[in-house]
Structure 1
Amino acid sequence: MRVGCVEMEKNSSNMIHLTADSPNKPETVCIFGTGDFGRSLGHKMLQCGYSIVFGSRKAQTSSLIPKGIEVLSHAEAAKKSNIIIVAIQRDHYNFLSELTEVLHGKVLVDVSNNLKINQYPESNAEHLAQLVPGAKVVKAFNTVSAWALQSGTLDASRQVFVCGDDSKAKEMVMGIVRTLGLTPLDQGSLLAAKEIENYPLQLFPMICPIVALILLALVYLPGVIAAIIQLHRGTKYSRFPDWLDKWMLCRKQLGLVALAYAFLHVLYTLVIPIRYYVRWKLNSYTISQIQNNRTDPFNYSMGWHSDSYLALGILGFFLFILLGITSLPSVSNNVNWREFRFVQSKLGYLTLILCTAHTLGYGGKRFLSASFYRCVTIASLLEVMHQGNCLVYNYLCKHLLKGHHSAACWKAVEATVKQSVRPQHAVTS
């Protein structure tokens, strides 16, 4: 054990000095806590040019901190910076009440997470604001992992949710986020901190609608690709590529799986109003209005917005069920080819349009932000699709391709290809 400690001390003594010496270096940032996340965040900020000072209970035993960085007591470190990142767990917040005078007017950035969803009545950030009433508390960085900061693979967690009651304090924190190469997302006041803290603990909460819509798009996309290939070749008798042939053969199975995920999404949506957290939040909001003797006016734009995307979702789900019913052998055997083709083709495209419009309506204007399209990994793709933004890609690809072969100038060519006769090969004697 002693040998391991000696090796660690040697490694720490050989660490590269990361302190920025440029004359235009940013403001000094204080970090409370020398754990994995605190060290990783400090390491990353040093690489981006910030001066860092750590506040720790055991300043002399923090051997893993790179040389050139000050490690002081909490009170001494807080005096050297106006921005303090609190990288400690909620259970250890109590000592902050002793530093009320030192922390007065400073920006406290809470980065903590809990072990369970809704573990406490109030969020960690709100609890911190109660302990230090004179400080400006901002919630941020809780969706970024220490491993991602250490390894530099931030693509999977590039978006950083930020919320707080002081707009200037939020702007300061969002400036740090941008400097680190991340994308800040302003979530409003500190009341949103509880939702932000619950986000890292969720296990694919929005995966059902996302998968349902993606699978539905994958059902109709191979038909469009096949039509374009036929138009390009000028004949319908040329065999499709093997991957496209297999894709087209499994379209029915993809559609049924998509319908199953759509059902799960609808069931989850229906139980949201009876969840304890939703009822508690509504009651707390009502009580706060009564205590403050105020009433928020009705927002007509928000009313139209919510009703619109809900109506689109209901219509899309209704047509989705109709598609599933007509795919049953007992039903498909009782309709002619034209009726079956109308339901599976025309109503299928309408279902895809309605479901995509429902998702884009839920996302609002957020899908217009260019910052949402920087992510390319699977994990970040799920975050983006949670906002309803990557579905724009499916919508454009699907319907632009559809428009290519459904335009008037292509109709005659398509009909000629479909009605073409297999070419006769001359037989030579």
Structure 2
Amino acid sequence: MENSFVMAGGGETAHKRDTICIFGTGDFGRSFGMRLLKSGYPVVFGSRDPKHSILLPSGAQVFSHADALKISKIIFLAVHRENYDFLPALSDLLDEKVLVDVSNNIRMNQYPESNAQYLAQLVPKANVVKGFNTVSAWALQSGSLDASSQVFVCGDDNKSKQLVMDVARSIGLTPLDQGSLLAAQELENYPLQLFPMWRLPFIITAGLTVFFFLYCTVIDVIYPYVKEKKDSSYRLAISVPNRIFPNVSLILLSLTYLPGAIAAFIQLYRGTKYKRFPDWLNRWMLCRKQLGLVALAYAFLHVLYTLIIPTRYPVRQRWMQNIIEASKKNETTELNKVKSWRGDVYFALGMLGFGLYVLLGITSLPSVSNAVNWREFRFVQSKLGHVTLLLCTAHAALFGWDRFLQSRRYKWGLPQAYMLGMVIPCIVLVLKLILITPCVDRMITRIRQGWESKSKYKAAPVCINNASLI
């Protein structure tokens, strides 16, 4: 069999490509073979029973395992570890050939060693490479490779890895060299992870959502029923969620910037940047982007729920009753300029804050963040991020206005939900205000440039007339 393909229409040979052999005729093997054929690779399948192999892509040939190995130097092993038993008998035919293990396991760390390392022990004459295990059969068949376009490759032979990476590039994937075969265990565990960077944000979001739901239900539904026998259960559909979304969003946004402030104070206390942060802080800092995106999603929901408020039946009913009562009393109400200013500024701050919110979300997209330099990215995500937090906190404060002074607002002695939602944001803003003080900012800059305190007990910087005294 020639290691080449001919252009459609009977033209001359366009490119010479090595014949690719695939062991395994399952979903991945068939989809991968189809993708290779479309990219111009001659493909042969190795099968225990070539005569009964069906559903293979058109253009591929089927041979026995031994015959397929004789015409191929790159073999993709698309079978489970439990079915490797036929390979030792082919050890001589695999001598100096590239054997690519694409297998995955059912659970993480299922075996003491990785499948690729086990394979290397089973057929020591072959150059075993781990790769393509993070690409799904569906993505290969449908061509929707955007979500899984990266192929992680590892192996002990550099030349073999390069051959496999060339194959990946030829079918539109992006190969990434992960080093020696020791990395195979990590690569095999990677597809089994379920949202590893989203787990903590989801847990925090779920906890806050449940807390505010129960809290608002007690205040807005249970309290009126107990005190006044008034059924306000309809508020569970719109009113209660529209209290949950802004409060959780504001807290999540503040939690995005709180670990950075904590890290800065830890560096100030230690007087050096050459000491590791606690593990809990490292995990927190690594998921800041996810926290911010979930916060943006909740802010979107708050905007949508707020837009439908005028169309709600209870709101329209209350407006009509107020108009009727005013008509009966023949009363007119003059425009209250204080309330007008409060309402307009409240909405203005909300719209500005949401606009910056969206800007933060857009700049976190890889396609956008890759187009700006580090200083620009830091300006948007840090400085504008704190401005967003300030605007949204002021928006919440104007919503509350003077309600915190009214005793009737404290049902069963409980503060309103917006008061709880403002606690962490206010703490973050106060910490940021301290950190941008010239003397403190100057000290942090020195530490992050490599300066270290000589004494563990050296006094902290004291700010007098914008000067730093050590």
TM-score when scaled to structure 2?
0.46
Counterpart CA distance in 2 for 1:18 and 1:121 is: 52
Alignment of 1:13-412 (within 5 A): 22-208=13-199, 252-257=247-252, 307=276, 313=282, 373=366, 395=378, 397-399=380-382, 401=384
Counterpart CA distance in 1 for 2:76 and 2:174 is: 18
Counterpart CA distance in 1 for 2:158 and 2:53 is: 34
2:13 aligned counterpart, secondary structure = coil
Q: Does structure 2 retain, via aligned residues, the 8 Å contact 1:110–1:138?
A: yes
Counterpart CA distance in 1 for 2:81 and 2:128 is: 14
CA pair 115-26 structure 1, distance change in 2 beyond 3 A? same
Q: How many positions carry a matched residue from both structures?
A: 256
CA pair 140-59 structure 1, distance change in 2 beyond 3 A? same
Alignment of 1:1-20 (within 5 A): none
Give 1:306 deviation, angstroms. Answer: 8.4
Counterpart CA distance in 2 for 1:249 and 1:397 is: 27
Counterpart CA distance in 2 for 1:18 and 1:122 is: 49
User: 1:202-227: CA deviations, max 9, x gaps?
Assistant: 1112214677999xxxxxxxxxxxxx
Give 1:262 deviation, angstroms. Answer: 11
Give 1:92 deviation, angstroms. Answer: 0.7
Equivalent position of 2:314 in the other structure: none
The AA in structure 1 aligned to 2:30 is R
The AA in structure 1 aligned to 2:251 is L
CA pair 34-313 structure 1, distance change in 2 beyond 3 A? closer
2:176 aligned counterpart, secondary structure = strand
The AA in structure 1 aligned to 2:116 is A
Counterpart CA distance in 2 for 1:393 and 1:40 is: 43
The AA in structure 2 aligned to 1:145 is S
Q: Does structure 2 retain, via aligned residues, the 8 Å contact 1:19–1:51?
A: no
User: 1:317-351: CA deviations, max 9, x gaps?
Assistant: 9xxxxxxxxxxxxxxxxxxxxxxxxxxxxxxxxxx
Give 1:313 deviation, angstroms. Answer: 4.0
User: 1:291-325: CA deviations, max 9, x gaps?
Assistant: xxxxxxxxxxxxx88847979849979xxxxxxxx
Give 1:22 deviation, angstroms. Answer: 3.3
User: 1:368-394: CA deviations, max 9, x gaps?
Assistant: xxxx946x9xxxx9xx9xxxx9x9997
The AA in structure 2 aligned to 1:398 is Q
Q: Does structure 2 retain, via aligned residues, the 8 Å contact 1:211–1:258?
A: no
CA pair 392-98 structure 1, distance change in 2 beyond 3 A? farther
Give 1:402 deviation, angstroms. Answer: 6.6
Give 1:91 deviation, angstroms. Answer: 0.6
The AA in structure 2 aligned to 1:253 is V
2:18 aligned counterpart, secondary structure = coil
Q: Does structure 2 retain, via aligned residues, the 8 Å contact 1:209–1:261?
A: no
Counterpart CA distance in 2 for 1:60 and 1:152 is: 29
Give 1:21 deviation, angstroms. Answer: 7.5
CA pair 117-182 structure 1, distance change in 2 beyond 3 A? same
Unaligned ranges ≥5, structure 2: 1-7, 206-240, 259-272, 287-359, 389-470
User: 1:182-215: CA deviations, max 9, x gaps?
Assistant: 111111110110111011111112214677999x
The structure whose Rg is larger is: 2
Equivalent position of 1:415 in the other structure: none
CA pair 179-61 structure 1, distance change in 2 beyond 3 A? same
User: 1:118-151: CA deviations, max 9, x gaps?
Assistant: 1111110001000000110000010011111111
Q: Does structure 1 retain, via aligned residues, the 8 Å contact 2:33–2:60?
A: no
Counterpart CA distance in 1 for 2:53 and 2:9 is: 16
User: 1:97-135: CA deviations, max 9, x gaps?
Assistant: 000100010000000001111111111000100000011
Q: Does structure 2 retain, via aligned residues, the 8 Å contact 1:25–1:51?
A: no
Q: Does structure 1 retain, via aligned residues, the 8 Å contact 2:33–2:57?
A: no
Unaligned ranges ≥5, structure 1: 1-16, 215-245, 264-303, 318-355, 357-366, 406-429
Counterpart CA distance in 1 for 2:64 and 2:54 is: 15
Counterpart CA distance in 1 for 2:62 and 2:386 is: 63
CA pair 313-200 structure 1, distance change in 2 beyond 3 A? closer
Counterpart CA distance in 1 for 2:149 and 2:204 is: 24
Counterpart CA distance in 1 for 2:43 and 2:284 is: 55
Q: Does structure 2 retain, via aligned residues, the 8 Å contact 1:209–1:262?
A: no
Give 1:66 deviation, angstroms. Answer: 3.0
